[in-house]
Structure 1
Amino acid sequence: MTIPKPLRILLLSGGALALVGILTGAGAYLYVSRTLPRVDTLADYRPPIITRVYSEDGAIIAEFYKERRIVVPVATMPRQLIEAFVAAEDSNFFQHQGIDLPSILRAALKNLKAGGIVQGGSTITQQVAKSLLLSPEKKFERKFKEAILARRMEKKLSKDDILYLYLNQIYLGHGAYGVQAAAENYFDKNIEDLTLGELSLLAGLPQAPSRYSPYRHLDRAKERQKYVLGRMVEEGYITNDQATAAMAETLVIHPRVNTHITEAAYFTEQVRRYLEETFGEDRLYTAGLEIQTTMNLSMQQEAQKAVRENLRAHDKRQGFRGPLRVLHGEEAETFLAEQTSAFSETPPEAGAYFDALLTGATKEGLSLQLGSFRGQIPAELSRWAGSLRVISATATPTSVSQLPIGSVLQVRVQEVRPDGSLLLALDQEPLAQGALIALDPRNGEVKAMIGGYDFTRSQFNRVIQAHRLPGSAFKPLIYAAALDKGYTPGTVLLDTPLIFKEKSGAGEETEWKPKNYGDKFYGATSLRTALTHSHNVITIRVLEDIGVGYAANYAHKLGIVSPMDKDLTLALGSSALTPLELATAYSVFANGGVRLAPTYITRILDRDGQVLESTDPADFPDGIGPGQKLIRQSPERVISPETAYLISNLMESVVQNGTGWRAKALHRPVAAKTGTTNDLKDAWFAGYVPQLAAVSWVGYDQERPLGEDETGSKAAAPAWVDFMTAAVANFEPLEFPVPDSIEFRAIDPQTGLLAPEDNADSIIEVFAPGTAPTHYALDDKKPRARDFFKLDMEDR
């Protein structure tokens, strides 16, 4: 049969075109395939994952990441979770070899019919190729590359390997990458604990995570969930009854809220800085490090509570500042509407603080509104603010005690009553700041660190960044230096007026007349009594005798790194330092004279569990290799055990008989000292038991007086006592260890000399070896009080 010439030409032309197409396609394939990344790299899947910081008991207290991803093996994933994603995203996943042509054609027809893109044809394998190996731009060349890579992946990897990559890599909204992070984000669960209703909701998110956000658009998310469950029924993964039950589940969208991260913020920021400095920013935020720290979470929580409640109490003593603002009409309605919306998810609970709208007053107290909740402040719960009077919304208040209707007041919820109304207490945000640091003196581990009232309001960490005058809290360092110069707790000095004259640069003569708190002088006074009652004049006399330079060097030896003023005002704490420095110095006393630098981290592991840094040599059984470091501290003895015990014993007297009396509430041996600057700008309380040392500070960032009588005992000690009472509750009460060489002698407190033990006026005093008096007061005619203006050569 002869083929007509026109048909023959057509066939030849078609064949030539087909050959050209094949050759072009082959050429394009060869050209593109040479530029593609190697699929082999997927065998070592190392995506960016979360770096996590843990407290000493294993609680997560911080997370650092660029992509919040937690990689989990397929074996951990519920089978229904895998089936849900496969049914929704790629129903032929287990049959195809990377490309699903029928799905591509079906999607193309649907898109043509809809006049836009309503369905994609990419397989799960193609999605992995695009996510991990290609850029996301929408071009035909990228789709071509995607198809080639998908085929290669199917040859190199198992289906489970591809699912492992897909389900750990996929973005599921609100910063969650991978199914585990999403399960935590939306349900605060691990994936193995998800219900069918919950996991089907997650499987509906890949198409458009923001559009189907369970937080913002739960109705849309539920519609998408219905589609996923329907697809699971069609594929035979579940029954109709299971799908119906899953749709009927009441889904509680429970956002992942880790309050520990907020509570620990000042501590973990210090850890973050160290990690960034040591490992670099990229590794910190992508390498999935595990950081084990020294923080005791329960102590940290108690420290935050103590600091905040103490600052609020201080603020109330300074008086009521009036309403936060006054709202009328639409402003008031909007205020209440926004509260109502917020309370629909998280109703007010006892102990929480809120802003409330004043609506009136009754004979019982103030009436207020919080969203749709009614509240009342009884008179006894606003008494600290003085006599308050409610006036009309249009009246002009003439004092802070006059409250117009519509006033916004800060309140604390005392009780949610059975009828839904709220018992409230009037409150206000404190203006002063506080800090608290707690160390284990035996190893230097930081157990708690609060650098301010609220990290979200101020990231300035006052524990390590605020240099403030310590006042009398510095005196124990001076007294310890004096003990090493031959002084004893029984040394008697004269507490009498002092006058120091000096000339200014202009040649003018000035006078300095130091005085004690209360402007009193006490005559012959023992060293113990002087520290117990924080006498300034005695401390200045001691410092003048031992030398300012010697005392400053001694303080540096104890852990004070800030520069010291080289004059006699050092005795009164005139050189600024940080709470951390003071806590380090006090820890030396608590630790028997051995200094350890404060430490925050005990172990750092990489994502594979290899130890990078550790305080424990046992973590490096084969020796310290490249990239590893032993961070164990070397204890350094800086003062003798005898001196450490003597100063602790002296500060026990401060607690039992002096300014540190509040610490008696611990009902155990405690050594402590108050600190107050002359102008009441800084208040301190520092002290310790054998197992824990802590320092509390209160002051204003923009320095100004704290208020009348706001001393260390009144302003700073309550936070210290509240914290320490909770922190040491499970510690065995221990005495401070007494070195064998310490001597106990009965002395006459008026002269510091020996006295018969049966003498009613004698006291038992402690002495370092060789420093106890050798003769009795009755035998000595010379006055023993040391007057530094009338010392003879023999005494000098």
Structure 2
Amino acid sequence: MNKKPSSDETTNQKETNHNEQETLIHSEINNKQTSNKKPLKKFLKWTLGFFILFVVLIFAGYMMVILNGEKLLKENLEKMDMLEASIIYDHNGNEVRKLYKENREIVNMDEIPELMVDAFIATEDKRFNEHGGVDLWAIGRALYKDLVSGEIVEGGSTITQQLAKNMFLSSEKTVFRKVQEASIAIALENQYSKDEIIAMYLNQIYFGQGNVYGVKAASEIYFGKEDLNDLELWEIATLAAIPKAPSYYNPIDDSEKSKERRAIVLQLMYEQNLIAKSEMSEASKVDYKPISVEKQSYVSFIDYVILEAADKTGLTEDELREGGYRIYTTLDTNVQQVLEKTFSEDQWFPESGPEQQVQASMVIMDHNTGELKGMIGGRDTVQKGLNRALIPRQPGSSFKPIAVYAPALETGSWQPYSNLKDEPIKFGDYEPKNYYEHQYLGQVSMVKAIEDSINIPAVWLLNEIGIQTSLDFINNIGIELDENDRNLSIALGGLTTGVTPLDMTEAYSSFANNGTWTEATSIRKVINDLGETIYLAEPLTKEVMSEQNAYYMTKMMEEVVLEGTGYKAQMNRSVAGKTGSTQVGLPEVTDPKATRDLWFVGYTPEWTAAVWMGFDKTDTQHYLTVTSSYPAQLFSQVMTQSLADVPSSSFVKPEGVEELVQPPTSVDDLTILYDERNRAVELTWSPVEGNDNFYLVYKKEDKDKNYELVFTTFEPYVIDIAIKEKKKYQYYVITYNNKYELYSRKSNTVNIEIPKEKKNDVRFEDLFPFFR
């Protein structure tokens, strides 16, 4: 039987159990507290570890950014050299044109007004002077706005970052590119001062209009001001407004949007205490008025300058346009303006065709120095357009002095008044004709042949001296002919390729410059962006003929202008020159007056010039029907005005040169009578002074083409009985100087018709049978 415990025992047992429970509970609580402290410690340890790692990574990343920036900057240092416009100057050192791919002129910090610097900093990066290339505050603000909007609305780039992007990077919006931009910006800040960075930025930024870069070029394009210190506040603010969207905010393309953006710039400047409120208000109200831009001038000359500069310096055209070179030229702007004005006036040109305009070109050169004074390539010249002064054309008779007469004088066997044949002659398969096909004089002096541009004497004389003699002379004066030009047609300017007006100007300068050929040049010197002279012109010169023969050529070509085909080239000063024309060469065109090319090449004691005139493409609707009087009068018009301020002078005979022996005086009063009783013709004239003179009497029957020499006499009369009734006869007389072998001009021509013989008349030969 079980015994029940007593109450005391029960009570003790309960207390024991309670104590055990409390102990157990406390133990569980302690166990729980202990187990809860372990994860917290672990968490804290991991957090600290991640933080340290984060700091290390940030530091490592920062170091990588720094090192990468320095590396990128070092690798791309050449990009720090911004493209700069080259400048062309005229012969007085005045700027006439800028050459550029990017229209930019570099300015130093001391040339940039402080207010301009303030305007760009206030607009683009107000904390520019405080950050080290990257503005964390601006980046944070930009990130917040981008997150709120859900897209990239603000970049947060500093001026230094913009400079890094524009100079070294593309404009793509990627994280990698932004990191590179930041790294280069930091490197720039480490390498350059704030002044250097802002100067680079202002020289580099794009200002619209296709190719305007940097504040100076922008100032000139939009306001016509070269000195930035001349800019007013509203103009500075207008420029500072453009970089945000150059095609949108530049004042030429949209003056209203430009004005609106300018107001924002001014407001920013006011808020940053850079200008007063009244200044802001006044500058905001100004309306932009575009500056007047003159039509581009001097294009033919400048195009040639670029060609010559590239040839002489070895630089490419792109290098010349972007390297900041200073090219000092020989351009006389007065001469060039005269050329361009005259070529714009229709009165100096023959009538144009239905689809083409009659074109022309002209080159003017100082033959004493070789310096080109002016050049024009056409009546409608445009930059990099067709420059006809450099296009080969057939020179016609203007080539005769070069190909025939000068080399003939140089042989020593011919003189200006030497007699040349002028009669129909066939040279193998070649049968040249005179311009007036049926007019031949039998023989003429060299002077006469040049003066009237007679073809046969030129071809005959070339045949006499030999083609090689001619080719050697032509080559010596800088003209290279085709290998197929070894023929007599070169006497009349019939060339395979032709010659340019510039070629002809150089060649004729040899006559004007006492026998010295001088290379034409449009450049005096070229200076690079470091101020170093990389090219200094030293035109080539060489003696191509004696002073005496050059003087003789000048005296003969003076006659061309005074009495011959070039009379329209006469000026208020001494002029020598030669005309030229070429046949149209189209079987469908039967007009005897039709021509393809017209020339006048001539010179004064000061300058030499060549004029070409014609159509670019000759066809049945486009050919000329006028003479070389047109280029001759164009020469006169341009040269008269161009030389207006140059003292007039005459051609001077060089020392030691013999004066040109003049031919004997011509007979000018030849008279003719018919002696009916004696059936004879009597010719009489006044005697010509000179002991060495005698007379040559020429005669032809009306039906004959050519005259024949029928009498040689020392007396001023002859009697001709070799006549027939009902025939018509013509006579003229030439005076001949036996000492110098010189011929006068022919006398006046006299005509007579022999009447029918009357029956039972006593004939002269019946009275004097020995005359039969």
TM over 0.5: yes
Where do residues 152-191 of structure 1 align in structure 2 (5 Å cutoff)? Answer: 152-174=187-209, 175-190=211-226, 191=228
CA drift of 1:295 comes to 2.1
**Letter paired with 1:201:** T
Alignment partner, residue 696 of structure 1: 611
CA drift of 1:117 comes to 3.4
Alignment partner, residue 532 of structure 1: 451
- 1:668 and 2:573 matched: yes
CA drift of 1:178 comes to 1.2
Alignment partner, residue 254 of structure 2: 217
When normalised by structure 2's length, the TM-score is 0.75
Matched pairs, number: 632
RMSD: 3.3
Matched residues in 1 for 2:494 and 2:654: separation? 33
Residues 143, 566 of structure 1: CA spacing in aligned structure 2 closer, same or farther, 3 A cutoff?
A: closer
Q: C-alpha offsets along residues 152-198 of structure 1, whole Å, 9 cap, x if unaligned?
A: 43343222111111111112222222111221222232223222111
**Which residue, 514, 534, 537 being the options, matches 2:433?**
514
Alignment partner, residue 389 of structure 1: none
- 1:67 and 2:71 matched: no
Residues 607, 541 of structure 1: CA spacing in aligned structure 2 closer, same or farther, 3 A cutoff?
A: same
Computing the radius of gyration from Cα coordinates, the structure with the larger value is 2
Alignment partner, residue 448 of structure 1: 374
1:437 match: secondary structure? strand
Where do residues 567-716 of structure 1 align in structure 2 (5 Å cutoff)? Answer: 567-575=487-495, 576-615=498-537, 632-664=538-570, 666-679=571-584, 680-704=595-619, 707=623, 709-714=625-630, 716=631
**Letter paired with 1:488:** Q
Where do residues 554-569 of structure 1 align in structure 2 (5 Å cutoff)? Answer: 554-563=473-482, 565-569=485-489
Alignment partner, residue 30 of structure 1: 63
CA drift of 1:776 comes to 3.7
**Letter paired with 1:533:** D
**Which residue, 462, 487, 496 being the options, matches 2:414?**
487
**Which residue, 468, 472, 477 being the options, matches 2:393?**
468
Answer whether contact 1:37 1:133 (CA < 8 A) is retained: no
Answer whether contact 2:666 2:688 (CA < 8 A) is retained: no
2:525 match: secondary structure? strand
Matched residues in 1 for 2:154 and 2:45: separation? 39
- 1:431 and 2:431 matched: no
2:646 match: secondary structure? coil
Matched residues in 1 for 2:475 and 2:99: separation? 36
Answer whether contact 1:87 1:231 (CA < 8 A) is retained: yes
Answer whether contact 2:395 2:582 (CA < 8 A) is retained: yes
Q: C-alpha offsets along residues 671-693 of structure 1, whole Å, 9 cap, x if unaligned?
A: 11111123311100110012211
Q: Which runs of 5+ in 2 are unaligned?
A: 1-32, 585-594, 668-684, 697-711, 715-733, 738-772
Matched residues in 2 for 1:154 and 1:743: separation? 79
CA drift of 1:461 comes to 2.8
1:68 match: secondary structure? coil
Q: C-alpha offsets along residues 723-758 of structure 1, whole Å, 9 cap, x if unaligned?
A: 21222112121111202332354541459xxxxxxx
Point out the more displaced range, 51-60 or 163-172: 51-60
Q: Which runs of 5+ in 1 are unaligned?
A: 322-428, 504-510, 616-631, 752-758, 764-772, 787-796
Percent identity reads 32
Matched residues in 2 for 1:138 and 1:16: separation? 34
CA drift of 1:711 comes to 1.5
Q: C-alpha offsets along residues 235-273 of structure 1, whole Å, 9 cap, x if unaligned?
A: 111111111111122212337656236464542453365
**Letter paired with 2:413:** G
Answer whether contact 1:33 1:145 (CA < 8 A) is retained: no
When normalised by structure 1's length, the TM-score is 0.73
Matched residues in 2 for 1:282 and 1:483: separation? 48
Matched residues in 2 for 1:671 and 1:312: separation? 20
- 1:83 and 2:118 matched: yes
Alignment partner, residue 360 of structure 1: none
Matched residues in 2 for 1:702 and 1:311: separation? 22
Answer whether contact 1:467 1:578 (CA < 8 A) is retained: yes
**Letter paired with 2:232:** T
CA drift of 1:98 comes to 2.6
Answer whether contact 1:99 1:150 (CA < 8 A) is retained: yes
Alignment partner, residue 391 of structure 1: none
Point out the more displaced range, 637-646 or 442-451: 442-451
1:177 match: secondary structure? coil
Residues 748, 167 of structure 1: CA spacing in aligned structure 2 closer, same or farther, 3 A cutoff?
A: same
- 1:267 and 2:172 matched: no
Point out the more displaced range, 287-296 or 129-138: 129-138
Q: C-alpha offsets along residues 273-331 of structure 1, whole Å, 9 cap, x if unaligned?
A: 526x8124553343222222222222223223333435873235x6xx4xxxxxxxxxx
1:36 match: secondary structure? helix
CA drift of 1:456 comes to 3.6
CA drift of 1:614 comes to 0.5
Alignment partner, residue 93 of structure 2: 58
- 1:739 and 2:654 matched: yes
Alignment partner, residue 719 of structure 1: 634
Alignment partner, residue 234 of structure 1: 271
2:397 match: secondary structure? helix
Matched residues in 2 for 1:727 and 1:20: separation? 83
Matched residues in 1 for 2:686 and 2:528: separation? 68
Q: C-alpha offsets along residues 207-229 of structure 1, whole Å, 9 cap, x if unaligned?
A: 22122232323222211111100
Q: C-alpha offsets along residues 114-159 of structure 1, whole Å, 9 cap, x if unaligned?
A: 4443333122122223333444432333333433443443343222
Matched residues in 2 for 1:143 and 1:565: separation? 67
Alignment partner, residue 376 of structure 1: none
2:350 match: secondary structure? helix
CA drift of 1:785 comes to 7.1
Alignment partner, residue 329 of structure 1: none
Matched residues in 2 for 1:699 and 1:498: separation? 30
Answer whether contact 1:310 1:718 (CA < 8 A) is retained: no
Residues 262, 116 of structure 1: CA spacing in aligned structure 2 closer, same or farther, 3 A cutoff?
A: farther
